Amino acid sequence: MSTNKETDQAILDAIDTWVEKSLRPAAKRFDHADEYPHEIVEEMKELGLFGATIGEEYGGLGLSAWTYAQIVIKVASVWMAPSGIFNSHLIMAAAIERCGTPEQKQKYLPAMATGAFRGSIGLTEPNAGSDLQAIRTTAKLDGDHYVVNGSKTWITNSMHGNGTLLLVKTDPTAQPRHKGMSMLIAEKGPGFNVVGKLKKMGYRAIDTCELTFEDYRVPRENLLGGIEGKGFVQTAGGLELGRINVASRGAGIAEGALKLALRYAQEREAFGKPIVEHQAIQLKLADMVTQTEAAKRLIEAAALKYDAGDRCDLEAAMAKLAGSEAGVFCAQEGMRIFGGYSYSVEYEIERYYRDAMLMCIGEGSNEILRQVIAKQLVERHRI
């Protein structure tokens, strides 16, 4: 993990320059066309974003979670969607780096660090979202291969990516249910079917798809960690980094909406003066900046605990809750400040509004996370 502050700052500065030079001019075009941003992806490869948190020994940048979170905030403050392309990929990479066999690490991580192999996380199913133990996709061992049957949905990176980290039931009869779950490193091949890209209100241009598996064969050596029944634990371990990322995306949306609203409020006049001089607008801006900065501090606290190797499920859940809700709040208040113009697709604030709500749902709904927070709070302070 990189601990060189000068190097980290240089990377953040490079991302800042790229965001303004390439991402901002392209965002509206790709979002409105709902078109995959191939050229943006190639630029992200050159910047090393696909290897951001992968260890330097595998060719990655080895960035800390906090530096990575700051990158995500910068990207999402201009256009949230591209952050999902490297986020899903890096959650898969982190799981392989944390839980994989030495052979799995050597085979996949160097290719993932360059973006030559782009991955995703295959968890959600049509009937299993927050309740992952309810998944129905099965993997039965047949000689030296697992035969997979089932379906997944809402899988980002699945159309243009190369494979997915697939959560399956290797023992559907196991009790408790989580003991029958395993993770497979699933490369595309016969029986791995990308059904089609889902049409979405926001988070456009990104290839979020439904997948079906029909007698799809995965080599036995692609069982993550080499031991069956560890899938649920391996998934839960990756959720902390995922929640820090989603928190950062929400905070980025909040920051971007705030900047748009602050500029517009100084340019727009009503009743003979800029609307920023009206108390009603000032109150909105004050709440927006306070929620944004508070979310960023919670993200920093969670990321620093993650970097230290400490347990941070409570902190990551609080950060995700605060970051995502700040994104929704600031996007909505931004719409109110822009008034009627907010409904015009010529003004970018409407994209922030469409993108924001997803952050409250992804990586565990905020309703589930409130339960996680409360349970962890009680556990840590029992009398």
Active site residues: 363
d(CA 126, CA 124): 7
d(CA 18, CA 56): 23
d(CA 183, CA 232): 8
Structure tokens at 380: 């840590």
> Under a CB-based contact definition with an 8 Å cutoff, are residues 259 and 135 in contact?
no
- Left (φ > 0), alpha (ψ -120 to 50) or beta: where does 210 sit? beta
CA dihedral 272, 273, 279, 282 (to 10 degrees): 150
d(CA 248, CA 76): 8
> Under a CB-based contact definition with an 8 Å cutoff, are residues 81 and 206 in contact?
yes
Helices (H), 115-230: none
Nearest to 345 by CA among 28, 25, 27: 28
Q: What is the DSSP string of 308-352?
A: TT---HHHHHHHHHHHHHHHHHHHHHHHHHHGGGGGSTTSTHHHH
Q: What is the DSSP string of 346-372?
A: TSTHHHHHHHHTHHHHTTS-HHHHHHH
d(CA 383, CA 371): 19
Q: Exposure of 380 by Cβ count < 10 A (0-12 exposed, 13-18 middle, 19+ buried)?
A: exposed
Q: What is the largest CA-CA distance in the chain?
A: 79
